[in-house]
Amino acid sequence: MKKQLLLLSALFISILGFSQGIEFERGTWKEVLEKAKQTNKPIFVDVYTSWCGPCKKMSKDIFPLAEVGKEFNANFICYQIDAEKGEGIKVAKKYEVMSYPTYLFVKADGLLFSRSGGSMNAEKFIAVSKRAIADMNDPKPLSVWEKEYAEKKNDPAFLLDYMNKRLTVGKSNAELFDEYLALLPSDQRASDKIIELYQKESRNIGINSLAYRNLQENGILFFPKIGIYINMFMSQAINNSFREAYKNKNEHLLQQVVEANDLMPKTPQSRPKEEFYMIYYIKTNDLNKYISNATLYCDNSLMAVSSDSIIKMDKNALMLFEIKQRRGLAGKVDSTYLAQLRGYMTHANRDKYSLALNSVAWTFFEKVTDVKSLENALRWSKRSLDIYPDNQMFIDTYANLLYKLGQKENAIARETEAVNLARSKKSDTKEFEETLKKMTAGKKTWK
């Protein structure tokens, strides 16, 4: 009798488990495609990374829900893959995954027919599934649109519909956006429809596009409608072209980026040209040019602002935020998010300057051997600690630079301080402890 009860209990638990949440397949990508063929079901793929906070939130709070499981299990073969490990790297590259989590909806032959991404509640996530099913059953698939494009490319209405269709699979419409703008008279290039296109395509446009020139030429028309978003769209375009420049080692495009950035309105968030050069040369592995530009960036921009000035900047920023919030100008946000915003504003400049100084100092520690350059890095590291004293990572950077410069005893003392500070905050101390052991044993702490 006891065995029968145990069996019934196990069966009941199994049934409950079956009905709860999304059931993810455990095979290889090839095996998942094969199962899709056998079952005649499309595939839902959650592409994640181990460090992605929104990915963890979805896995913990949304995927296990019964209503979500019911929707996805009925309609898809469900699969999860880490974009930075194993065959996940290849899958993420094939489907041009750029952010996490990304949700791919794929047919058994590997054809992507819909995509989405981000953290959301159950209702919105179920809506993503239903939209994907609609995309799959669309009687006019993307392949048909692509064939029609050659003969209808001069039809603005067709181009708008074609761009919307391409968005369902996450394809860039930057070139089509330019083609659409070119079909319009200049005075019609700042309409609400155009603004909507900028909101959809700002992550794809570059500084050599018609879309970018349109923002420059029609700023007066745009400003009453979107205000500072004009500069946000332009800054995004500058960043897009900058990434393209260092990925392709294109110094001509780099110079165009710097010139475009120089024409932007100057704000406390403006980037000096040395920062662009510094990042470009570390990305393209030109260490000597990186060192010279990083030195200019730190000494002329970051070190030029005193610790006291940074404290005042944060006080003023917080005061301005509080005034806007009281006057209802900060937008409608819940109390939790408001508290997060207030916390960020309290130390925004402290974090900006100290993180930038520490980042360059750490790169010098890892890659540079010249004593004078290392001594410069030590100065920058010290300033990061002047700005943000109780940061164990910054103390660790300072200790490692001391150690590389031969100041072993002082380095050990500062690394011990980093370990103790991390421990007091209940943070992970493993890396600091390993570094301390190497220092004590006289071993290298850099590669």
pLDDT of residue 9: 45
pTM: 0.78
pLDDT of residue 189: 94
Q: Is 78 labeled as catalytic in the residue annotation?
A: no
Catalytic pick among 32, 33, 43, 55 = 55
Return the biggest CA–CA distance within the chain. Answer: 84
Q: Rounded to whole angstroms, how far apart are CA atoms 103 and 66?
A: 19
Q: Rounded to whole angstroms, how far apart are CA atoms 415 and 398?
A: 8
pLDDT of residue 8: 42
pLDDT of residue 317: 77
Q: Is 380 helix (H, G, I), strand (E, B) or coil?
A: helix
Write out residues in the chain with pLDDT < 50, as ranges. 1-19, 330-331
Range(s) within the chain of domains with CATH label 1.25.40.10: 302-441
pLDDT of residue 387: 94
Catalytic pick among 32, 33, 45, 52 = 52
Residues 26-64: tens digit of each pLDDT: 999 999 999 999 999 999 999 999 999 999 999 999 999
Topology of 20-136 in CATH?
Glutaredoxin (3.40.30)
Topology of 302-441 in CATH?
1.25.40
User: Where do the DSSP E strands lie in 200-267?
Assistant: none
Residues 222-253: tens digit of each pLDDT: 988 888 789 999 999 999 999 999 999 999 99
pLDDT of residue 15: 42
Range(s) within the chain of domains with CATH label 3.40.30.10: 20-136
Give phi and psi for 424, each to the nearest 5: -65, -25
Q: Which helix (H) or strand (E) holds 447?
A: none
pLDDT of residue 1: 43
Buried b (16+ CB within 10 A) or exposed e, 299-335: eebbeebebeebeebbeebbeebeeebeeeeeeeeee
Give the DSSP per-residue string, 293-310.
HHHHHIIIIITTS-HHHH
Q: Is 55 labeled as catalytic in the residue annotation?
A: yes
